[in-house]
Amino acid sequence: MRRIGIDVGGTNTDAVLVTESGVVQAVKTPTTEDVTGGVLKALQDLVAAAGEGLGRIDAVMLGTTHFTNAVVQRRGLVKTAALRIGLPASAALPPFVDWPRDLAARVDGGVYMIEGGHEYDGRPLVPFDRGAMRDVAKRIADSEVRAVGLAAIFSPLNAACESEAAEILREEAPDVVVTQSHDLGRIGLLERENATLLNACLSDLAGRTTRAFKEAMHDSGIEAPLYLTQNDGTVMRAEFAEAFPVYSFASGPTNSMRGAAYLTGLDEAMVADVGGTTTDVGHLRRGFPREANSAVEIGGVRTLFRMPDLLSIGLGGGTLVEPEPLAIGPQSTGYRLQEDALVFGGGRLTMTDIAVAAGLAQIGDPAPVARLDRALVAAAVARSAEMVAEAVDRMKVDAMPLPLIAVGGGAFLVPERIDGISKVVRVEHQAVANAVGAAIAQVSGEVDQIFSETSREAALDAARRLAEDRALRAGADAASLSTVEVEDLPIAYLPGHSLRVRVRVVGDIA
């Protein structure tokens, strides 16, 4: 294994070279507004730092918040037509119904609903209206819209309507980019459709971004397959990511926790990831972050993605400090830390300045912070330590003491002693845990499906085989496959012992 892991954070872009023997090289550079500039710089720095030791790279794994930010900031999104197959059902709640108005106004490129879809047991709901579908395809072809999100009722169980609709769209409007909801899995029409529409509206940006990343690799002299990280801690090939940018949503925190597990060798631990703007606290179980329960909103849109259960507080290296009366954050310099902080010659007091003044960190020029009021420095350090301790306490669900892994560029803000924590673990390269987590990521396959008229064992077995098949198609090595998550949920009020099974399988990249 010789991999480069890259993490594009809100403040810094990190790159690491990881081999079997661990982290060989690590660099850090400020994130640029165009994102790819920072990636290019990080790669060039890494190549320069590694010199002859770079060797032949197997893969580059990149984690980015670029697509999440595009939705949150409503940038780079294209008009998207929503096509739902399922009339006469679900008509009262059309696509975009629960979107924030400003985002819907930007993305909504027309809503079309036609007859079709399936029942929970795979029977057709009503016959698929092919004539109407062809009319819609022609109307879309004649319109300005070049992206389509396609969702049919119960398509995760039977994708026939979506596949056929996509085929008709290809015939009538060959230049239109289509996202089909069954490719994004999971039962729950509105949430699945939302994810599908977000994916479709990101299609243009996804293409441009992955091309730019590949160019950056090429310009740095690295020829290797590019992977992007996804929210479950695994990676997808760049070509796949180009088609499914939504899978990269919120992958950052997962990468950081996976990296923390790898760097420390700890599988059961609490993790505090202190970045430039926030501190994210999570819980590692069997080397993966514990997942959150609630529906996840991206830019105000409900989706079906699962995220790590994280508590985020407004404390990071760039967090601004008000001396009188003492107030810490939540405002932050963000990616301007290296211009605004006192230790970098700027004019704003940040937590990094406080940490340097207190001797907790050696960053920049200590001279400007030497004249800070000692009482203020001590009070700010104590307050930030309390903030971290409280967040850890709220997130820790085990009664027994656990170790706490402190990672991220601002890990120096984590205090040495916290109640309920056996020890605070700091390791080399902790500041680039995100990039390390990306570098070591595996590939996965997932299934979420209802099984009827079969035994629980047979259903679990069938689901596992499907998930394994998907992992193999995602590029996994068959010998390395292992099941990391099995959940079976019997369904009330359905006949024939219906069981909803969710299985996730991971494996090493072949």
Residue burial 197-221, b: 16+ Cβ < 10 Å; e: rest = bbbbbbbebbeebbebbbebbeebe
The first and second tokens of residue 326, run together, are 């003492």
Question: Interhelix angle for 130-142 vs 160-172, to 10°?
Answer: 40
Residues 102-131 that bind other proteins (CB under 8 A): 119-120, 123, 125-126
Residue 403 corresponds to which amino acid? P
Question: What is the x/- site pattern for other proteins, positions 130-159, by CB under 8 A?
Answer: -----------------------xx-----
- The single residue listed with the structure tokens 């319109």 is 143
Q: Which is nearer to other proteins, 21 or 294 (CB)?
A: 294
DSSP 335: G
Q: Which is nearer to other proteins, 46 or 190 (CB)?
A: 190
Alpha carbon distance 490, 469 (integer Å):
24
Nearest alpha carbon to residue 122 among 79, 155, 145, 92: 155
Nearest-approach distance from CB 334 to other proteins, in angstroms: 25
| Strand-pair partners of 81 | 148
- Which are the contacts of 78, defined by CB distance < 8 A and separation ≥ 6? 107, 109, 146, 147, 200, 201, 203, 204, 205
491 binds other proteins (CB under 8 A): yes
Nearest alpha carbon to residue 459 among 428, 418, 500: 500
Alpha carbon distance 166, 136 (integer Å):
12
Q: How far is CA 492 from CA 30, 390, 495, in A?
A: 52, 40, 9
Q: Which is nearer to other proteins, 44 or 452 (CB)?
A: 452
User: Do 354 and 323 form a contact (C-beta atoms < 8 A)?
Assistant: no
Binder among 86, 185, 299, 475 for other proteins (CB under 8 A) = 86
Which of these ranges, 66-74, 233-241, 460-468, 493-501, lies near other proteins under the rule CB under 8 A? Answer: 493-501
Nearest-approach distance from CB 292 to other proteins, in angstroms: 9
261 binds other proteins (CB under 8 A): no
CA atoms within 13 A on the CB side of 302: 11
254 binds other proteins (CB under 8 A): no
Which of these ranges, 58-66, 378-386, 462-470, 486-494, lies near other proteins under the rule CB under 8 A? Answer: 486-494
Alpha carbon distance 259, 249 (integer Å):
18
- Which are the contacts of 32, defined by CB distance < 8 A and separation ≥ 6? 13, 38, 41
DSSP 348: B
Nearest-approach distance from CB 493 to other proteins, in angstroms: 4
- Which are the contacts of 249, defined by CB distance < 8 A and separation ≥ 6? 67, 68, 231, 296, 298, 303, 305
Q: Which is nearer to other proteins, 102 or 469 (CB)?
A: 102
Binder among 72, 91, 105, 111 for other proteins (CB under 8 A) = 91
Binder among 293, 370, 371, 419 for other proteins (CB under 8 A) = 293
Alpha carbon distance 242, 227 (integer Å):
10
50 binds other proteins (CB under 8 A): no
498 binds other proteins (CB under 8 A): yes
90 binds other proteins (CB under 8 A): yes
User: Helices in 33-100 by DSSP H: which ranges?
Assistant: 36-50, 66-72
Q: Which is nearer to other proteins, 137 or 271 (CB)?
A: 271
Question: What is the x/- site pattern for other proteins, positions 156-195, by CB under 8 A?
Answer: -------------------------------xxxx-----
Q: Which is nearer to other proteins, 3 or 500 (CB)?
A: 500
Residues 387-446 that bind other proteins (CB under 8 A): 394, 397, 399
500 binds other proteins (CB under 8 A): yes
The first and second tokens of residue 381, run together, are 């350090």
| Strand-pair partners of 487 | 502
Chain centroid to Cα 257, Å, comes to 12
Nearest-approach distance from CB 296 to other proteins, in angstroms: 14
Nearest-approach distance from CB 456 to other proteins, in angstroms: 9
Binder among 55, 88, 330, 359 for other proteins (CB under 8 A) = 88
Binder among 49, 89, 168, 224 for other proteins (CB under 8 A) = 89
Nearest-approach distance from CB 35 to other proteins, in angstroms: 34
Q: Which is nearer to other proteins, 478 or 489 (CB)?
A: 489
Residues 263-292 that bind other proteins (CB under 8 A): 283, 285, 290-291
Q: What share of the chain is helix, strand, coil (3-state, %, to 5)?
A: 40, 30, 35
Please tell me the count of residues contacting other proteins according to CB under 8 A: 43
Q: Which is nearer to other proteins, 43 or 395 (CB)?
A: 395
Residues 306-345 that bind other proteins (CB under 8 A): 309
Contacts to other proteins by CB under 8 A:
86, 88-93, 97-98, 119-120, 123, 125-126, 153-154, 187-190, 283, 285, 290-291, 293-294, 309, 394, 397, 399, 450, 488-495, 497-500
